[in-house]
Amino acid sequence: MIFQILDANYSYDARRNPLVQLFGTTPEGKSVACRVAGFRPYFYAGVEEDKLDEVAEALRSAGLEVEAVDRFDPIGYQIKTKRMLKVIAHDPKEVRSLRERVREIPGVRAVYETDILFKNRFLIDQNIGGMAWVEAPLPEWVSKPSCQDLPEVRVETLRPAEQGANAPLRFMSFDIECLPDHGEMPKAETSPVILISMAFEPEYHGQRDIVLVGKGVECSRDDVRACLDEHDLLHQFASIMRDYDPDIVAGYNSNEFDFPYILERAKHLGADLRVGRDGSSCYLRKIVNKTDVTITGRVVVDLLPIIRSSFSLKRYTLRNAAAELLKMEKHDVDPKEIEGLWAEGGAGLRRFISYSRRDAVLALRLLLDLRLMDKYIALSRASGSLLQEIVNGGQSGMVESLLLRRFRERNRVVPPKPDAGVSEERYEENVDLKGGAVLSPQKGLMEDVVILDYKSLYPTIMMAHNLCYTTVLNSSSQGSSSQQLPQGDIVVAPSGGRFVSPKISPGIMPAVLKELLDERTKTKKLMRSASEEERRFLDAKQYAMKILLNSFYGYSGYARARLYSLALANAVTSFGRENIQRTKNVIDEIGSVYIVDGTVLFGEEAFGRSAQGRRFDLSVVYGDTDSVFVRLRPEPGKELSLEDAELIGRKIAETVTSSLPEPMELVFEAFARRGIFLAKKRYALWVFEPAGDGWKDRIKVRGMETVRRDWCDLTSRTLKTCLELVLKEGKVEEAVDHVRSVIGRLQNLDLSEDPEILEDLTLTRRYTKSTGSYKNKQPHIQLVEKIKKRGGVVPGVGDRVPFVIVRGRGGRKNKELFVDRAEDPGYVLEKNMPLDTEYYVEKQILPPVLRIFESFGVTKDRLCLGRGQCNLLSFGAEQKAQKQKSLFDY
């Protein structure tokens, strides 16, 4: 039979041999599990040549199995392998202490692959991985397996299986409600859990969701279940989870709140929460600033950190995430009400129950409607990491999973993760890591700009120049190997880094990248003719390839990476910088193009025919890392159509591409009819992108205040409106009027009449570190202190703090500092505090819009008319403005 691997861990047989336990799903969606015997933990020791036998003997006499093997060291081009020792242990748990002992033995240079989790070691060596399909000689299935009856197979009998689609999974989300303690935040030591809501996909016995109530209440509904008491509530929760047997267990902030809370309560009450697929409980692992939750055989998904890292939102409360991402409302019960509702029961309790139900439902909707698992599953399949590791971790785990496999195939060992001292050194070293080049923009308003960019620039650079851990030459170069190589066989990066050519030794990383890139191209092609469901699967797959492709460069310069190479990372970016500069030069040197009979000809090609064609002058006006923005200037009085622009863009891209090593490729991305460039990384464009047969247009803003979360919504919206009016319609005058009306509204602000505006005036900033470690005062930090003093609920480190700016004490001259005038919006409303409208006009609205209007010569006076700053001069300018014919008349 075949199944898809959802999770893995290990246990022992009667003789304390380790057994890998695999948990998975059949193509029909049945959950299955088995134990695999015959695989043992091991690691490598690099030993000085003349001490090899001695060390081996020492280890053998300590009762270990030792094998001499030939392996390459992790980093650097090497001609020959070295003799190393493969140390085979009995118990995965002893590897760590064994490593320390082996390190101490005289003659041992280094140890390798000592910290690969046993389950991962197994998956890597069997050439299988997370969400991989595997074939095992298993009998019919035990559904809902438990630890006693897991069938056992030998490791040799497992086979990777071919299967495209993913197995159907069961999803469950949950949310708990606790009883506050006389208005205080509930504490797990004393405050009971009173409600647990659960939502299911697919349904559980015909129910989409259920709420468990922690006391005996009358209820006639199937989807509300009364429990005897809190102990019974927890018991029912565990029992429903076992019965439904979900593959994925989700919640919102559940790793930091719900799981720790119910586990503490369960311990307190002596209730068992054995919800693991091997009969184990769920357990926590507290790491510095985060908690990992494990339920054996299932995947635990906390949506909060996922939503945080996947979407740019001003606030990450469930309420706001649901509103922004799902357009769904969250029902709310004031925490102060809860004690009353719980005590009284009846209609109030029913409202509380339905609010609780909604939270579980929203968490499940976030997980499913945003198709988050599709992406993680695709990443798991493509990288080989277990799904839980993908959900919990970052890019480094995936990169390491891929590299460990490839290194193994090529007889290269991989170092353990660096200890704190080594990574500290590397962080210091990393100041020498230079990044991409940003070309200075030609500032101001501009028309007719073609946007070209490099497809997967860094990955293609690594492929094109064979940049890899396995090809890099020691810079000191006393290193024996490089001396004997002919010049032509060495690639020298602009950074000075030297690498052997593919002819000498094709790198591992370029090979992995090529496979990922080819697979992505193939997948995207398949998407065109795929059905809706198939398309979603393929889209997740191509997305996974993109993420992985882009992870390798960052990993190589990451101080905590197993495989770290500053020379490699610097070589990649140095080629990138050289490339974009060269691209700019090539395009600028083309000078002008002609369109003759529907084809694009360059200056010289058009010689003699240019008279019949239309000429466009080219110049690169901006570029950042992997993109160039090319302005196309038609002859005076002539126009440029979208089709012309695309034709020219593609021709330039092709020309540049043809001069570059494979697979580097510059492609046509979009055309901007108009744009405003304010500074590096700050611009707004009215772009047209090819879509199907035609074009799709939109305003694309980068870096400006509309896309920044530390400005208020009023600023974002006002600026956005101005940009649309100016870029799409050329209506500077209307934009000016709009700003004036916004300023007018601010100046006549009356919070009691217009409380809605408070939301629009709220700024948010992230509380990034504990209050004490700030060197300077910050508005949001000052506010946190104020709230703390008032005894309110303070945001935690990592949260975004919303605040408005109030007028404060002191006159015009010695006003309270800005940083001390941040206030909680709710508190402002409650206390009817006056907002600092001058701040909002002068610091929030004016500077961003003035940066835009500067291109048109619109001054501050024009925007502030009617505020006593009106003068004859600006009035005159306004009269003139009404005769505006073109944007450039300004």
Residues 98-127 that bind DNA (CB under 7 A): 115
Q: What is the dihedral of CA 202, 205, 207, 210, to 10 degrees?
A: -110
Segment contacting DNA by CB under 7 A, of 119-127, 481-489, 724-732, 758-766: 758-766
Segment contacting DNA by CB under 7 A, of 42-50, 373-381, 428-436, 749-757: 428-436
- Could you tell me where the beta strands, DSSP code E, fall in 223-280? 224-226, 248-251
Binding-residue pattern over the window 823 to 852 for DNA, x denoting contact by CB under 7 A: --------------------x---xx--x-
CB of 631 to DNA, least distance (A): 16
> Which position among 254, 460, 551, 565 is part of the footprint of DNA (CB under 7 A)?
551
The residue (of 616 and 677) whose beta carbon lies closer to DNA is 677
The residue (of 339 and 854) whose beta carbon lies closer to DNA is 854
> Which position among 207, 280, 317, 395 is part of the footprint of DNA (CB under 7 A)?
395
- Could you tell me where the beta strands, DSSP code E, fall in 313-457? 438-439, 444-454
Residues forming a β-bridge with 196 = 176, 212
CB of 611 to DNA, least distance (A): 38
The residue (of 271 and 303) whose beta carbon lies closer to DNA is 303
Q: What single letter denotes the amino acid at residue 448? A: D
Q: Is 559 in the site for DNA (CB under 7 A)?
A: yes
CB of 708 to DNA, least distance (A): 4
CB of 746 to DNA, least distance (A): 16
Q: Is 30 in the site for DNA (CB under 7 A)?
A: no
> Which position among 111, 437, 461, 516 is part of the footprint of DNA (CB under 7 A)?
437
CB of 706 to DNA, least distance (A): 9
Residues 581-620 that bind DNA (CB under 7 A): none
Residues 700-719 that bind DNA (CB under 7 A): 701-703, 707-710
C-alpha closest to that of 133 among 385, 381, 389, 391: 381
> Which position among 453, 644, 669, 733 is part of the footprint of DNA (CB under 7 A)?
453
The residue (of 150 and 299) whose beta carbon lies closer to DNA is 299
The residue (of 342 and 564) whose beta carbon lies closer to DNA is 564
Residue 24 has a CB neighbour count (10 Å cut-off) of: 24
Are 587 and 99 contacting, i.e. CB atoms less than 8 angstroms apart? no
CB of 359 to DNA, least distance (A): 25
Are 767 and 798 contacting, i.e. CB atoms less than 8 angstroms apart? yes
CB of 673 to DNA, least distance (A): 18
CB of 454 to DNA, least distance (A): 8
CB of 689 to DNA, least distance (A): 14
CB < 8 Å & 24+ apart, contacts of 501-507: 501/466, 502/466, 504/77, 504/471, 505/77, 505/470, 505/471, 506/466, 507/462, 507/466, 507/467, 507/468, 507/469, 507/470, 507/471
C-alpha closest to that of 319 among 309, 308, 307, 332: 332
Q: What is the enclosing helix (H) or strand (E) of 85?
A: strand 82-88
Distance CA 679, CA 814 (A): 34
Q: Is 267 in the site for DNA (CB under 7 A)?
A: no
Number of H helices, E strands in the chain: 29, 32
Are 618 and 655 contacting, i.e. CB atoms less than 8 angstroms apart? no
Segment contacting DNA by CB under 7 A, of 181-189, 462-470, 499-507, 769-777: 769-777
Binding-residue pattern over the window 355 to 394 for DNA, x denoting contact by CB under 7 A: --------------------------------------xx
CA angle 530, 531, 536 (to 5 degrees): 85
Q: Is 553 in the site for DNA (CB under 7 A)?
A: yes
Q: Is 417 in the site for DNA (CB under 7 A)?
A: yes
Distance CA 327, CA 325 (A): 6
CB < 8 Å & 24+ apart, contacts of 340-344: 342/179, 342/194
CB of 508 to DNA, least distance (A): 19
Q: Is 720 in the site for DNA (CB under 7 A)?
A: no
**Dihedral over Cα of 11, 14, 17, 23: its sign:** negative
Residues 282-311 that bind DNA (CB under 7 A): 285, 287-290
User: Pairing between strand 283-287 and 822-823?
Assistant: unpaired
Q: Is 765 in the site for DNA (CB under 7 A)?
A: yes
CB of 552 to DNA, least distance (A): 9
Segment contacting DNA by CB under 7 A, of 608-616, 622-630, 823-831, 856-864: 622-630
> Which position among 4, 254, 294, 627 is part of the footprint of DNA (CB under 7 A)?
627
The residue (of 403 and 500) whose beta carbon lies closer to DNA is 403
Are 815 and 808 contacting, i.e. CB atoms less than 8 angstroms apart? yes
Segment contacting DNA by CB under 7 A, of 189-197, 293-301, 414-422, 634-642: 414-422
CB of 688 to DNA, least distance (A): 17
> Which position among 38, 151, 418, 506 is part of the footprint of DNA (CB under 7 A)?
418
Exposure class string for 671-706: b at 16+ Cβ within 10 A, else e: bbbbbbbbeeebbbbbbbeeeeeeeebebbbeebbb
Residues forming a β-bridge with 65 = 88
Binding-residue pattern over the window 845 to 884 for DNA, x denoting contact by CB under 7 A: --xx--x---------------------------------
CB of 173 to DNA, least distance (A): 24
CB of 394 to DNA, least distance (A): 2
> Which position among 151, 160, 335, 554 is part of the footprint of DNA (CB under 7 A)?
554
Residues 637-696 that bind DNA (CB under 7 A): 678-682
CB of 439 to DNA, least distance (A): 8
Residues forming a β-bridge with 760 = none
Distance CA 490, CA 482 (A): 9
Distance CA 355, CA 224 (A): 13
The residue (of 234 and 303) whose beta carbon lies closer to DNA is 303
Token pair 């030993």 is at which residue?
Answer: 47
CB of 367 to DNA, least distance (A): 21
CB of 577 to DNA, least distance (A): 9
> Which position among 312, 585, 612, 871 is part of the footprint of DNA (CB under 7 A)?
312
The torsion angles phi and psi of 5, rounded to 5 degrees, stand at: -75, 115
The residue (of 120 and 126) whose beta carbon lies closer to DNA is 120
- Could you tell me where the beta strands, DSSP code E, fall in 544-665? 592-596, 599-602, 614-624, 627-634
Distance CA 109, CA 98 (A): 15
> Which position among 10, 39, 555, 668 is part of the footprint of DNA (CB under 7 A)?
555
Residues 317-336 that bind DNA (CB under 7 A): none
Residues touching DNA, count (CB under 7 A): 76
CB of 721 to DNA, least distance (A): 18
Show the tokens assigned to 624.
Answer: 């950042």
C-alpha closest to that of 806 among 753, 765, 751, 860: 751
> Which position among 434, 582, 831, 880 is part of the footprint of DNA (CB under 7 A)?
434
Q: Is 697 helix (H, G, I), strand (E, B) or coil?
A: strand
> Which position among 109, 315, 766, 786 is part of the footprint of DNA (CB under 7 A)?
766
Token pair 């197993």 is at which residue?
Answer: 562
Residues ≥6 apart with Cβ < 8 Å to 162: 133
Residues 770-789 that bind DNA (CB under 7 A): 773-778, 780-781
Q: Is 506 in the site for DNA (CB under 7 A)?
A: no
